[in-house]
Structure 1
Amino acid sequence: MMRRADGPAKLWPIGLWLLAHAAPAAAYIDPGTGSALFYVVSGLVVSIYFGVRGLYYRVLEAIFRIRHKDQRCDLAIHCEDPRYEITFLPVLKELVARGVEPTFFTMYERDSSFEPLPPQVTHRAIAAGMVGYAYLNNVEANVLITTTPQLDVMTFRRSPRVKHYSIVQHALGESRYVRPYAYDFYDSVLCCGEILKENIRKIEAIRGLPAKQLYATGLPHYEELLKSRQVAPPPDGDTIVLVAPSWGPFSMFESFGVDFIETIARQYRVIVRPHPQMKVSQPELYARVLAVHGVHVDTTRTPVESMAKAHVLLSDISGIAHEFAFIYERPVLIIDQRRIVGGTEGDLLGGDSELKDRCREFIVPVPPSEINNICTHIGQALANHSPARLAEVRAQLVYNFGAASRVAAEQISEILVRERANASPAKRRFGYSAVPEGLGAQGAP
C-alpha cells in the first residue's frame, strides 16, 4: 500500500531558513561543484513546494474531518463527472425499488438539463478536485460506490468511517491500460466481464495481495444505450461512417491529421464525432476537425444520435468501439496503433490485449499504414459482418447484458446489509473486508 511521504514536509522550514540567511559570495565554482549545488538547491525548492502543498492538503483534511451532518449516510455513491451518470442512474432507480435510499455525491452541480433523481435519493454537490476529495475522504457511510480508480494511491483516500469501498465499471475493459494499483485497495469490484476479473486475480497473485470480492455485474449504462437504440429509427439510405476517435497521442487526428476524413467522404456519408476532451486539451486540432468540409460534425452531449444513424464506426482506442458494436450490433474498424503500456498495469500483466483479440471479427484492427486505403477496409468490414457471431462473443465477454443495473443493485444491497451488521469491522492490513461465507472464491453470489 502506498503511503504519503512526510520527509519533504519536515524539510521545508530548513529550506526557508537557508534562503533567508543567504549571503553574497565571490568565488570560482568548478563544473562538478556547480552541478552538486544545483541538485542541492533544486532539492530544497522541491521540498519547499511539496511541504507547502502537503500543509494545504492537511488543512483541508482537518476542516472536513469534523463530522458534518451532510457527510453522514448509509450508502454513498460518488460520481466525479457528468458523463458517468449514465452508469449510476439505472442503479439508483433499482436501489430505490429495493427500498434503499442512497446519497448521491457529485463533483458538479446538477441543473434542469439533467434527468431528475428519484425522490428517495439525497443529492450532495461537492467541489471538484482536491477540495472535493478532502470532503469525500471523511465521509461516514457503511458502503461507498464509485467509478474512480486508485483509491488510497493518489488524492482519493479511504475514510476511517467508511466500512466498505466498491468500484463499478463505466466501460468494457481490462486492467491492462489503467494506472498501477487501480483496483488494489478496494474491498470489492463490480466487474464488467471475465477478462477484468482474471486480470485482477493475476495482479493480486503477483503482488501478494489478499483476494478481494469480485462480483459478476456487467455494465449498467448499456441498458440506457439499449433504450436509446429502441426508440431510434434504423439507419437507411447511403452508408454512413461515424468517425469517433479518442484524443491525445494515440488519436487518429493526432497521428494522421484530418485529410483522411475527406477521403472517406468522397465515397461515403460521414459523421465526425470529436472527443469532448479535445476541445480542452487540443484546441487547435479540435478547430481543424470542426473546419472539415463535406461532413457533419457532432458536438452534442452524447454520441447516441450519431451511433443510431451510422452503419459502421471508425475509431482507435476509444471506448465507443465496444458500445457501438455491442449495442447496435454493427461493425467497427480501429486504427491499430501499438500502445505503449509503460506506467500502466500492462507492465505487470505482460502480453497483448485479450479483449482486442477476442473482438477482432467485428472490431476489426487496421494497420496504421493502411489509412490511405481505409475505404477498402470499410467495405470489407460491412460485407463480412455477422451480427450472430457478435452476439455470441458479447455473451462471453459481458456479464448480464441488458440486466446489469438490477444485478448491481442486488449486489450492493447485499454488501450494505452485511456492513450494517458489522458494527465494528475488523481492521486488516490492506483495509479489505473478509469474503463472506457462501460467496465462494470469486466473491460472486
Structure 2
Amino acid sequence: MILFYIDPGTGSMLFSIVIGLVTMLYFLGKAAFIKVKFILSGGKATTSKNHYPLVIYSESKRYWNVFKPVLDALERKAIPTVYYASSEDDPVFSVAYKHITSEFIGEGNKAFTRLNFLEADVCLMTTPGLDVYQLKRSRGVKHYAHILHSVDDATGYRLFGLDYFDSVLLSGEYQKAHIRLLETQRGIKEKELVVVGCPYLDELQKKVADLPKRKNESFTVLVAPSWGKSGILSRYGASLLDSLVQTGFSIIVRPHPQSKQSEKEILEALEMRYKAAQNLEWDYSNENLNVLSRSDIMISDFSGVIFDYAFLFNKPFLYVNSNFDARPYDAYDLEEQPWKFRVLPEIGVELQENDFGRIGQLILETSKSSILEEKRKNANATAWQYKGKSGEMVADFLVGVLAGLKESKDM
C-alpha cells in the first residue's frame, strides 16, 4: 500500500484551486441556464430563489458582540437579512428577530464552500483573507464589506487580509492611511473606507455598566496574551509567570482562545507547573468582561484586548512587543510603525525580560500613574469614534449600498 501525505498548507492550496474551478463552472453553467430560460420565457426576467439582498457571516460566536448592534439596527429598520453562523450555539439562535433569518452553515472548509457559492447583493463579515485562500469571492455577490472586530490597526491581519473587499468599516479615522498606502503599493483597487465606530465596544460598554461591583479582593494581575511564537506564553512562559507568582499578587492567566488549539502543549505544561500555586488561576470563559473587571492591571503583548481593557475600564497595563515579528502581517509592507505600537508607549509601560526581577515594583508604579490615565483617555477618543452609535451607522451604510446597487440595476 502506498500512502501519500499532504501537509496542511498544500492541502489548503489544493482546496482553494478545486473550489475556484468548481465555483467558476457552477456560475458559468447557471448563467447559461438563466439565458436559455430567459429566451424560453419570451424575454421575462427571472430571479434566483437562493439570492439574498444582505448576508452577514460570523465565523465564531465570539463575534456576536460585533454583529448584535448591527442586527438590532437592521431589525428596527425592517431590513431582511440572512445571518450565517459557523457556531452551532451562536447567540443569534436565541433571539426572536422578525426580519433576521439565521442559519448554521458549519465550520472551516464546509462554511467556506457554502460562502463560495453565495448569491447576495451584499455580504458583511469580520473574516479577513477574502480571495486569498479558501474563502473566495463568489461571482454571485456584488459587494463584500469587512468590519474590523477591534480598535486595532487595519494592517494587523495576515498578508492581503483586506485587499479584495469592496469596503472596510473602521472604528477610527487613523485606520485609513495605511490601507491606502497598501493599495497604492500593491496596485489594487481602492476600497470604500467608512468610519462607523466600534459595535463590539458599544455592546460591551452596556454590559460593563451592569457588572456587579467588585468585592474586596487582593491586588490582581491579569495576564492576557495573544497566541503564536510572538505571544507572551510562547516567548516567556514560566520565566514571566514564576516572577509574577513570587510577588504574592493574585494572578489570573487568560490565554487567547486560539491557544487551546495552536499552543495546547505549552498550556498543558504551564498548567501542570502551577497546579499547586495558590495565587494563580486560569480563565477560559467565553466572555472576558468579568475577569477584566476583577483585575487591577493587565499584562499583554500585541493582543487587541489591551484596548478593550484601557478603553472600557481605563485601567493600566504592561505590554511586551519589542520582538514582534511583523513578517506574516500586512504591517510588514509599511515603513511607518503601526498606530498600535506608536500609541502603546504613551498609554502603557513596556515590559522587558530584564524587568522580571523587579516586576512587582513596576506593576505598582504603573498602576499609580495619573499621566498614563490621561493619555489612555486621549487614545480612546481617537480609536473609538461614534460611541453608542455604531450599530445604526453600519446598518445605514449597508442600506445605502443596497440602494445604490438597486439604482444601478434599474438604470
Tell me the TM-score normalised to structure 2 length. 0.84
Q: CA deviation at 1:205?
A: 2.0
Matched with 1:261 is 241
Matched with 1:272 is 253
Q: What's the C-alpha RMSD, in Å, of the aligned pairs?
A: 3.0
Q: CA deviation at 1:354?
A: 2.4
After superposition, residues 12-411 of structure 1 pair within 5 angstroms as 54-55=17-18, 58-59=21-22, 71-110=50-89, 115-116=94-95, 118-235=97-214, 236-265=216-245, 266-291=247-272, 292=274, 293-294=277-278, 295-385=280-370, 386-411=372-397
User: Is the 1:242–1:313 Cα contact (8 Å) retained in structure 2?
Assistant: yes
Take 1:357 and 1:94, find their aligned partners in 2: how far apart are those partners? 34
Q: CA deviation at 1:55?
A: 4.3
Take 1:288 and 1:213, find their aligned partners in 2: how far apart are those partners? 46
Which residue type is aligned with residue 409 of structure 1? Answer: A
User: Is the 2:20–2:136 Cα contact (8 Å) retained in structure 1?
Assistant: no
Which residue type is aligned with residue 397 of structure 1? Answer: A
Q: Cα gap change, 1:349/1:327 in structure 2, threshold over 3 Å: closer, same or farther?
A: same
Q: Cα gap change, 1:375/1:344 in structure 2, threshold over 3 Å: closer, same or farther?
A: same
The answer to whether structure 1 residue 423 and structure 2 residue 402 are counterparts is no
Which residue type is aligned with residue 276 of structure 1? Answer: P
Q: Quick check: 405-414 or 302-311, which moved more? A: 405-414
Q: CA deviation at 1:353?
A: 2.6
Which segments of 5 or more consecutive residues in structure 2 lack a partner in the other structure?
Answer: 31-46
Matched with 1:428 is none
Q: CA deviation at 1:106?
A: 1.2
Matched with 1:429 is none
Take 2:28 and 2:309, find their aligned partners in 1: how far apart are those partners? 44
User: Is the 2:223–2:251 Cα contact (8 Å) retained in structure 1?
Assistant: yes
User: Is the 1:337–1:368 Cα contact (8 Å) retained in structure 2?
Assistant: no
Which residue type is aligned with residue 227 of structure 2? Answer: W
Secondary structure in 2 aligned to 1:141? Answer: strand
Instruction: State the Cα deviation string for residues 313-337 of structure 1 (Å, max 9, x = none).
Output: 1111211111001111111111133
Q: Say how many residue pairs are matched.
A: 382
User: Is the 2:55–2:84 Cα contact (8 Å) retained in structure 1?
Assistant: yes
Instruction: State the Cα deviation string for residues 358-401 of structure 1 (Å, max 9, x = none).
Output: 24233322223323322222111111145443222211222223
Q: CA deviation at 1:237?
A: 4.2
User: Is the 1:274–1:289 Cα contact (8 Å) retained in structure 2?
Assistant: no
Matched with 1:439 is none
User: Is the 2:112–2:135 Cα contact (8 Å) retained in structure 1?
Assistant: yes
User: Is the 2:69–2:390 Cα contact (8 Å) retained in structure 1?
Assistant: no
Q: Cα gap change, 1:250/1:70 in structure 2, threshold over 3 Å: closer, same or farther?
A: farther
User: Is the 2:12–2:134 Cα contact (8 Å) retained in structure 1?
Assistant: no
User: Is the 1:190–1:217 Cα contact (8 Å) retained in structure 2?
Assistant: yes
User: Is the 2:61–2:90 Cα contact (8 Å) retained in structure 1?
Assistant: no
User: Is the 1:336–1:368 Cα contact (8 Å) retained in structure 2?
Assistant: no
Matched with 1:12 is none
The answer to whether structure 1 residue 412 and structure 2 residue 392 are counterparts is no
User: Is the 1:279–1:286 Cα contact (8 Å) retained in structure 2?
Assistant: yes
Bigger radius of gyration: 1
User: Is the 2:53–2:121 Cα contact (8 Å) retained in structure 1?
Assistant: yes
User: Is the 1:194–1:398 Cα contact (8 Å) retained in structure 2?
Assistant: no
Secondary structure in 2 aligned to 1:361? Answer: helix
Instruction: State the Cα deviation string for residues 6-49 of structure 1 (Å, max 9, x = none).
Output: xxxxxxxxxxxxx9xxxxxxxxxxxxxxxxxxxxxx9xxx9999
Instruction: State the Cα deviation string for residues 400-430 of structure 1 (Å, max 9, x = none).
Output: 23322222122222112212222179xxxxx
Instruction: State the Cα deviation string for residues 334-356 of structure 1 (Å, max 9, x = none).
Output: 11332122232223212323222
Take 1:408 and 1:49, find their aligned partners in 2: how far apart are those partners? 33
Q: Cα gap change, 1:219/1:66 in structure 2, threshold over 3 Å: closer, same or farther?
A: farther
Which residue type is aligned with residue 120 of structure 2? Answer: A
Take 1:174 and 1:224, find their aligned partners in 2: how far apart are those partners? 20
Q: Cα gap change, 1:239/1:69 in structure 2, threshold over 3 Å: closer, same or farther?
A: farther
Which residue type is aligned with residue 238 of structure 2? Answer: V
Which segments of 5 or more consecutive residues in structure 1 lack a partner in the other structure?
Answer: 1-18, 20-41, 426-445
